[in-house]
Amino acid sequence: MSQQRTIRLSVQQHTSTVYVLGTEISIDIHGSAPKDATSFDVRGTPGVDVYIVHNPQVAKVPTCVPRWPLDAGVEVVVTMKALSDAVNDNKVRISYYGQDGGPPMHRAMLCLTCVDISLDADTTRSGAVKRKTADKREWTWGPDGEGAILLVNCDRDDPKSSDMDNMDFCVRSYADLRDMSCMILRTQGPDAIFDDHKLVLHVSVSDADKVGVFHARGDDVPHQYEHVLGSDELSYIVDRSSGQEEDTFYVEGLAFPDADFSGLVSFHVTLLDVPVENLPETPIFTDTVVFHMAPWIMTPNTQRPLEVFVCSVSDNADFVEAVSELARKAHCKLTICPEAENRNDRWIQDEMEFGYVQAPHKTFPVVFDSPRDGKLQDFPFKSILGPDFGYVTREPYNETVSSLDSFGNLEVSPPVTVKGKEYPLGRILIGSSFPRVGGRRMTKAVRDFLCAQKVQPPIELYVDWLCVGHVDEFLNFVPAPGRQGFRLLLASPGACYRLFREKQEEGYGEARLFEELETVTTTTIDEILANETLRRENDYVQSCIDWNRDILKQELGLSEKDIIDLPQLFTVIDKEASAFFPDMVNMIVLGKHLGIPKPFGPMVDGRCCLEENVRSLLEPLGLTCTFINDFFTYHTLLGEVHCGTNVRRKPFSFKWWNMIP
């Protein structure tokens, strides 16, 4: 709907005003009418369209102008389609008549100057700013949605800088500028009008701390971009030079969506009338454009791996070499965090999670630094934050950080459809104490942040039965052919007992676990199957995993054929479970290449029966299984391969703004 402004006339003197293209002027014909007037007529110069709204029909005034009754049901609306060449070059005349129908009793004259004012951004999401005359005040989701997109400028394009680019009030480089969204103010019309009025760009108090705006001034060099809005700056008077029809601004995001921020920010430009007397300015017209802050998006295992991260510590050279070889096979870049930076903290999966942000004009990765803050705490900020690589973190709200705040407890599913509802970017999975009352839970600051991104709505799973308490201890996803394009892998004590009973019946009851490990006490299949305490513990663990299985089937729209059970046993100490042998589901997934913790299971005909069982389940899907020895370097420290590695993956081809949350 067009903006409409009411103008009051006078029969004593002409009234002058500015008309902005795309708006409507409603003329108050009653306020200036003589006491005894009963009717009126209205005429406009050729550049003016005059409409009569009457009970409640709308009629354009014909060439043979009739007289209209001067009653409350009649309204005069004026529009224009062409810019003025000079001030007051278009006119509307109102003539008032008495009961006798004689000549006009009085006349009122409205002088109009038509200008064009438009605040534009990439509302069509095409990567270019186009003029849009329709209402830009709404931001809509979906393939037919409209509205501009803003990136949080959270990378560090200048290596000399000590912080993220959005922490200062300057443009340091063209690379910095390319992380921002363009906004153009277009103004056309007689220069004299803009000399006598004010153009003000402004933002609300609630939005000001979420954005920064830079005005391109003078030569096209970075230091000429002036910070004009954001933080404490709520308004900026645009000084329009004679003949200048465009002013270019660049907008950077300062904050991701969160519990107290929907992600929407609005910018306004207002034309103000400046009175001759010492009175405040009055608004004539306001144009608004709305941006949505791009969310932080996680990437699942089905996305192509780009870069593998692993820590080098004093005792894991063989592990690093095995991961390096796997990365080479998968054609991935390898980044080894040296001991000087990790300070003997090997749990790089727990320290951070990789995701990305995306706008039509730019996409870049962003690392999410967990609240865990172990000895690796400086690595994401000091070593990963850089040119076109952003950083975000969340500090807890007066909460104690627990193991559940490590990002082994943060995963994301591949895209799914659930009862007709599409999740084209998948759904985030986090572990919690549910259904237990009390217990450990991921901090509210992180949960609020993940929920606020909207595009990967989180699912809370039950992990407080585990000693460490991470979702990656019992689930994983691998790419696979078929309807879903993936399989959900679940650790399964039940599957392990079935496998061991099968081997016992085949005469391999004396085959031993851990036989290849010299310093580890071995145990046979017969002994495991006869151990009632271990059996009760694993029945309990299976019931906990089954609880999560049902949640995952319901929330991800999965059936049993989408799930593969990997044999795994756990042991329970002080009501907390941990893996009895290396937890094979805790693997690294690099395309078709899987790096799986070597379980050191019972040897049957010279082969580990656990490895052979896993191969039989996964290799028919086109996957390649590589078993990595992490027993002493990770498993005995309550972690595995996935815990000790991290992977940056290719962003989705699907654009987040095309989904319907």
Which amino acids are annotated catalytic? 643
Burial of 409 (0-12, 13-18, 19+ CB in 10 A): buried
Return d(Cα 421, Cα 292) in angstroms, integer.
23
Tokens of 605: 């005909």
Give the DSSP per-residue string, 542-591: HHHHHHHHHHHHHHHT--GGGEEEEE--EEEETTEEEESS--TTS-EEET
Return d(Cα 47, Cα 59) in angstroms, integer.
17
* Contact (CB, 8 A) for 429 and 488: no
* Contact (CB, 8 A) for 524 and 512: yes
* Contact (CB, 8 A) for 577 and 570: yes
Phi and psi angles of residue 121, each rounded to the nearest 5 degrees, phi first: -145, -175
Q: Residue 497 in 3-state DSSP?
A: helix
* Cα 35–Cα 37–Cα 41 angle in degrees, nearest 5: 140
Pair type for strands 570-573 and 576-579: antiparallel
Give per-residue burial for 80-109: e unless 16+ CB within 10 Å, then b: beebbeebbebbbbbbbbbeeeeebbbebb
Phi and psi angles of residue 368, each rounded to the nearest 5 degrees, phi first: -100, 115
Return d(Cα 547, Cα 291) in angstroms, integer.
41
* Contact (CB, 8 A) for 613 and 501: no
* Contact (CB, 8 A) for 17 and 189: no
Return d(Cα 222, Cα 473) in angstroms, integer.
49
Give the DSSP per-residue string, 59-122: EEPPSSPPPEE-STTEEEEEEE-S--SSTT-EEEEEEEE-TT--S-SEEEEEEEEEEEEEEE--
Query: Residue 41: which H helix or E strand, with range?
Result: strand 39-44
* Contact (CB, 8 A) for 115 and 190: yes
* Contact (CB, 8 A) for 61 and 75: no
CA dihedral in degrees (397, 399, 403, 404; nearest 10)? -60
Tokens of 355: 């995701």
Burial of 212 (0-12, 13-18, 19+ CB in 10 A): buried
Return d(Cα 31, Cα 10) in angstroms, integer.
8
